[in-house]
Structure 1
Amino acid sequence: MKKISEKRQNKSSFKNILKRSIGIALIGISLVWNADVLTAHADAPYKTYTVDGYNSVTETQTAYLPYKTITKIGDESLMTPTDFTLLDDGTMYVLDSGNKRVVVGDADGNLVTTFGEGVLVGPKGIYVTDKHITYVADRDAKSIFVFDENGELIHTYTRPQVAMYGDALDFLPLKIVVNSSGTMYIVCESNTNGIVEISPVDNGTFLGYFGTNATSASVWTIVWRALLTDAQRAKMVGNIPATPDNMAIDEKGIIYTVTRGEGDDTLKRLNIAGVNMISDPGKSDTVPAAIAVGNHDNFFVVSQQGFIYEYNNEGQLLFMFGGKDDGQQRIGLSTKAEAIQIGSDDKIYVLDSDKAQIQVYEPTEFTDYLHEALYLFSKGRYEESKEPLSQVLMMNNLFDYANMAMGKALYKEGDYEGALKYAKLSRDNDLYSDSFWEIRNIWLKKNLSTVIVIILVLIVLNKIIKYLDNKKNILSKPKAFVQKIKNQKLVAQLRYIFFYMRHPIDGNYGIKRQNKVSVLASNILLALMIVFYIINKYFCGFMFKTVREGQFDVASDIIMILVGLFLIVGCNYLMCTINDGEGKFKAIYCSFIYSASPFLVFMPFIFALSHVVTYNEEFFVSFGSFCMVCWILVLIFIAIREINNYTVGETFKIIGLTVFTILIVCLLAFIIYVLWSQVFDFLQSLVGEVVYRIGG
């Protein structure tokens, strides 16, 4: 009985401890749940990506970690907030659109004030100056409301009453920014003329439209519209520019805009003349929601799904992270992002209208070093930027932007060898070209006289040898040996390419009637062409290389060339046979190989040239390649005509039929591949089912 009593006492004390633990846990959960600010320092629930020198998206270190989630300002909850502004002192102005008011909080999350009640109708955008003057774009009220630092209404701007604005256009403001002189830039719904620019002078003076998006039309659209009648054209959808979705302004008055569906023009950085200063934009989202200016000559874009993009001032993508919440309410993920702001401490604030909260992200050490280098580099302090860049590269030596910046810093210092190294690592062709030009220039200054002397010596030596050969015939034996090699049948067939290139009509006659070439010689030439192609593809000059450094796929290259060649030759032979062509398969095959002989002759020179030119002389490589391709196409045309005894018109007809046949063969191959894949999947599932049942 005593043991049973002890067991009951132990069991009872265990229950008490368990109850206390659960109670403490519930209190803790309740405290966290009811807190105004939820703070979390866990690992990021997303991956971070960047763009490498090949313009491919690649994973990198975590750039920003979820820091906290703001669900209330003081005791005030938000309802469908659509915009907010964050000042340098940490004061936050949130446009609480669902409650038709502005909620102001301090840096600690405490409520300062609310205002706008009874004035705002359907507010969509907000902007606050350093002096705490608040501008609210109210779509439903068709007005811009201006409040002073105490939240009192001091100005109301409505639709500009001037003809230049557009008689048929309504005034439906969605977003607003203001420059240092008080000029307002307003995005209006359905106004495709651009951003509305209003001066505060005379209670609102319309200055015109700013940063209008361009329109574009395909060639097919232009031709089609030209063929239609006026009535038909009137029914077509008009080719009108898109309205920007959101914008931001920096301390210099530069306007940043985002416009969905604009491709390369999704992001714009507009100077005072309205000219876009982003010439080569990086990766961008198709549905951008908002844009914000950073503290280091950088800017940020957030998409509606919560993906955050960071760019430098030239539009190059630095980081991409974040994402859409799948319903698990994970910190750092959004449902519908509406606005983004950057704090003076580089924290990122993202407003989620569906969750009625603000997600906050803090930069990692890796990002802090990059920002420091970015700022120093943009200010021309290249020597100072090398230290933080070195720290970034120690953490990730494959981060291409850091390699590019380090290369440019070294170039500014005159270390062209070092700049060339980092240009290769970052795949920066412009930096590589500039660095190589300087290195080549230095080499020429040091060695040009020596090169000239060597050339003169070689010329004189050549003259002496020719003179001695004419007098004493000292080269008789070497000449006899070379002539003996040339007289070899296979060698003569290989050398026939030089005659064929200069006299294609006679050359094709020799292939067709005189057996001047053989299949063996053609196969050797084809093998040489494949070797030249592979060497040029993987080992050409850095600026002309199109494949990733160190990446080789030689087997696929060989298969592609062989399949393509025999597909062209086979389809051409088939069409020629059907259309009374005289050429046999051997003659057609050999003529096609010999028609490509300019590739064998000129590619070594183009390959060598690609290693010694910069962008200033790139034309020579491009023009040489263009001439080589044109020469090959002309030789192929003459080969088809001469081998089959066609007229010019018949030759064009055969070429068209050959191209059509190739397309049909490719389509059939694709259909067979798809059907076989389905049969294979069926057989695989059938075998798996049988094995499962036997095993069961």
Structure 2
Amino acid sequence: MRKKISHSLKKLTALLAVFVLVGMSFTIPVAASDEPYDTYNYDDREDLTYTPSAYEPIKAIAGNGLKYNGVSIGNFVSPQDICYADDGNLYLADTGNNRIVVLNNDMTEVVNIIDGFDNNGVKDGFKSPYGVCISEKGQLYVADSQNHRIVVLEKDGTLVRIVQNPVSQSLDAGYVFVPLKVTVDYADRIYCIAQNMFEGIMVFETNGEFSGFFGTINVKITLWEKFWKRIATKEERSKQQLYIPTEFTGIDVDADGFIYATNIDSEGVQAVRRLNPRGEDVIKKGENGNVGGDLWVNGQTQYAGASQITDVVYRDKGIYTLLDRKRGRIFTYDHEGNLLYIFGGLGTQLGTFSTPVAIEVSGDKLVVLDAYRAELTVFNATEYGSLINEAIALRYDGDETLAVEKWREVLRLDENNELANTGIGKAYLTAGDNKSAMKYLKLGMDADYYSIAFRRYRNQVLADNLSYILTAAAVIIIAIVVLTRVKGRKRGKGGEKA
């Protein structure tokens, strides 16, 4: 009896082992991360692939945990924007409290609170300051939204000038200026996103004079829509969607004066633009032809649909990062428009958000502002994220050899990283090692550069073997000539005998 039971238990154990192995073979892969969100990217077929975590949340900072002159500053109230200065201090638009809070780089101390300033001998202040920016000269620009102006201050709060009441024939009569976001280029030109201003980004010269619009996003209308607008009645036209340009949501500027501006793109294809000094979009869209956030946007839940990019921060070496308020994702791209990594999400845990509104960078540290929670979340780069950042920077500077070393380290952590394989392949291509380039470009699924490597390799093989090819051709030609003559002589002798 005991033998039968023992035999049955062995059979049962064996069956369970088989089921476990089969189940493991059909398990859906999960994110290789301990973070409270998925970390992933998309391959060349636009399929989602999980990756190691590029950034990890370190801490969250709320106003009630900070003191100024020994006194708690209290909670932030609906803060809307943040900006790092060159000295490392972080400026925060504490919108609901009508003040600008200045924190040190680690956000452990309050350096200053600017809640008012002297305006020609009169005490003046803010009313819902919505956006902040620090110029290269170190001056503070505040989008003082409900006072309908942009206030320019020195870092100590001394008034420099006020920009208000823009005047132009292109503005409607009775237009009310409500600035939301602001940035400044190296020439101190002001670029402002204003509420309900669909014509584009408003540009103000250094003297505060409004000079026009910049980077207007035109809405494409199909031939059918144009035809319908012609035949529709006035009532029917009034019910149609207004065909107006798209409003911008976030803005930043790089050292060369190129403006990075985000917008809500319902198609999820292009949610950011890189505008040159003439206002032309010169952004590159990478292998997938997409700089709009998530590529998978189907579904029926409230989180379905295209990403809603609300802010952008230009980092360095062509790298920029987008913030999505729809799903709380953070997307980072290189100067070619290749998606480097994705992290973040909605939720209540550290590293997730409720209403993310702004993002900033300091070195390898990213800071996200959540308006609803009224707190800052700090992310530090992991080894994986740092290696990708360093490899991209080296390639941007033209140092292919060192970039290859970084990409090999990336492959050690993520062997399926297409960008790393492509990076190594491009480096070999630049070095003239076309055969090795073909190998890595194939792994990176980069058809365009693989074709270039293949063409060069083919030409190289032909060039290296040209002497042999010509010699063989000459031998064949000589052999044909000799055989032809021999046959001719044989035919001639045969004719004489006849």
Interval of TM-score (by shorter of Structure 1 and Structure 2): 0.7 to 0.9
Task: State the identity as a percent.
Answer: 30
> 1:61 maps to what in 2?
52
What does 1:199-214 correspond to in 2, within 5 Å? 199-201=205-207, 204-214=208-218
Task: Please give the secondary structure, in 1, of the residue aligned with 2:316.
Answer: coil
What does 1:73-84 correspond to in 2, within 5 Å? 73-74=66-67, 75-76=72-73, 77-84=75-82
What does 1:82-481 correspond to in 2, within 5 Å? 82-108=80-106, 109-117=108-116, 119-167=125-173, 169-201=175-207, 204-228=208-232, 233=237, 236-261=240-265, 263-280=268-285, 281-285=290-294, 286-304=307-325, 305-325=327-347, 329-344=348-363, 346-447=364-465, 457=476
* CA 1:456–1:231: 2 relative to 1, 3 Å: farther
Query: Cα distance, 1:158 vs. partner?
Result: 0.8
> 2:18 maps to what in 1?
none
User: Which amino acid counterpart does residue 370 of structure 1 have in structure 2?
Assistant: I
Task: Please give the secondary structure, in 1, of the residue aligned with 2:416.
Answer: coil
Give the distance between the partners of 1:70 and 1:189, measured in 2 at CA: 29
Query: Cα distance, 1:169 vs. partner?
Result: 3.7
* CA 1:219–1:113: 2 relative to 1, 3 Å: same
Between the two structures, name the one with larger relative contact order (CA 8 Å, sep ≥ 6). Answer: 2
* CA 1:450–1:241: 2 relative to 1, 3 Å: same
* CA 1:135–1:431: 2 relative to 1, 3 Å: same
Higher share of residues assigned helix? 1
Give the distance between the partners of 2:423 and 2:171, measured in 1 at CA: 45
User: Which amino acid counterpart does residue 50 of structure 1 have in structure 2?
Assistant: N
Confirm or deny: 8 A CA contact 2:86 2:138 kept in the other structure: no
Per the normalisation by structure 2, the TM-score is: 0.78
Query: Cα distance, 1:51 vs. partner?
Result: 2.1
User: Which amino acid counterpart does residue 333 of structure 1 have in structure 2?
Assistant: T
Confirm or deny: 8 A CA contact 1:267 1:284 kept in the other structure: no
Per the normalisation by structure 1, the TM-score is: 0.57
* CA 1:341–1:418: 2 relative to 1, 3 Å: same
Task: Please give the secondary structure, in 2, of the residue aligned with 1:245.
Answer: strand
Give the distance between the partners of 1:265 and 1:45, measured in 2 at CA: 27
Query: Cα distance, 1:132 vs. partner?
Result: 3.6
User: Which amino acid counterpart does residue 106 of structure 1 have in structure 2?
Assistant: N
Number of residue-to-residue matches in the alignment:
422
Confirm or deny: 8 A CA contact 2:284 2:335 kept in the other structure: no
Aligned partner of 1:45 among 36, 40, 57: 36
Note the aligned Cα RMSD (angstroms): 2.8
Post-superposition Cα deviations, 1:37-71, rounded to whole Å, max 9, x if no partner, equal xxxxx942112111223232211011111111111
Confirm or deny: 8 A CA contact 2:136 2:186 kept in the other structure: no
User: Which amino acid counterpart does residue 332 of structure 1 have in structure 2?
Assistant: G
Task: Please give the secondary structure, in 1, of the residue aligned with 2:352.
Answer: coil
Give the distance between the partners of 1:283 and 1:403, measured in 2 at CA: 24
Task: Please give the secondary structure, in 1, of the residue aligned with 2:380.
Answer: strand
Give the distance between the partners of 1:428 and 1:54, measured in 2 at CA: 11
Give the distance between the partners of 2:174 and 2:475, measured in 1 at CA: 80
User: Which amino acid counterpart does residue 293 of structure 1 have in structure 2?
Assistant: Y
User: Which amino acid counterpart does residue 205 of structure 1 have in structure 2?
Assistant: E
Task: Please give the secondary structure, in 2, of the residue aligned with 1:386.
Answer: helix
Give the distance between the partners of 2:356 and 2:387, measured in 1 at CA: 28
Shifted more, 128-137 versus 394-403: the winner is 128-137
* CA 1:153–1:116: 2 relative to 1, 3 Å: farther
Query: Cα distance, 1:79 vs. partner?
Result: 1.1
Post-superposition Cα deviations, 1:439-482, rounded to whole Å, max 9, x if no partner, equal 11112224457667569959997xx89xx9xx99xxxxxxxxxx
Give the distance between the partners of 1:172 and 1:256, measured in 2 at CA: 21
Query: Cα distance, 1:389 vs. partner?
Result: 1.5
Query: Cα distance, 1:115 vs. partner?
Result: 1.2
> Structure 2, unaligned stretches of length 5 or more?
1-32, 117-123, 295-306, 492-498
> Structure 1, unaligned stretches of length 5 or more?
1-41, 473-696
Query: Cα distance, 1:277 vs. partner?
Result: 2.1
Give the distance between the partners of 2:111 and 2:137, measured in 1 at CA: 16
Confirm or deny: 8 A CA contact 2:272 2:291 kept in the other structure: no
Higher share of residues assigned strand? 2
Query: Cα distance, 1:131 vs. partner?
Result: 4.3
Task: Please give the secondary structure, in 2, of the residue aligned with 1:403.
Answer: helix
Confirm or deny: 8 A CA contact 2:93 2:101 kept in the other structure: yes
Give the distance between the partners of 1:283 and 1:417, measured in 2 at CA: 35
Give the distance between the partners of 2:437 and 2:234, measured in 1 at CA: 60
Give the distance between the partners of 1:66 and 1:430, measured in 2 at CA: 37
User: Which amino acid counterpart does residue 350 of structure 2 have in structure 1?
Assistant: I
Query: Cα distance, 1:403 vs. partner?
Result: 1.2
Confirm or deny: 8 A CA contact 1:127 1:178 kept in the other structure: yes
Shifted more, 63-72 versus 165-174: the winner is 165-174
User: Which amino acid counterpart does residue 113 of structure 1 have in structure 2?
Assistant: N
Confirm or deny: 8 A CA contact 1:250 1:293 kept in the other structure: yes
Confirm or deny: 8 A CA contact 2:102 2:111 kept in the other structure: yes
Confirm or deny: 8 A CA contact 1:351 1:358 kept in the other structure: yes
* CA 1:444–1:288: 2 relative to 1, 3 Å: same
Confirm or deny: 8 A CA contact 2:271 2:292 kept in the other structure: no
Give the distance between the partners of 1:368 and 1:125, measured in 2 at CA: 30
> 1:676 maps to what in 2?
none
* CA 1:222–1:144: 2 relative to 1, 3 Å: same
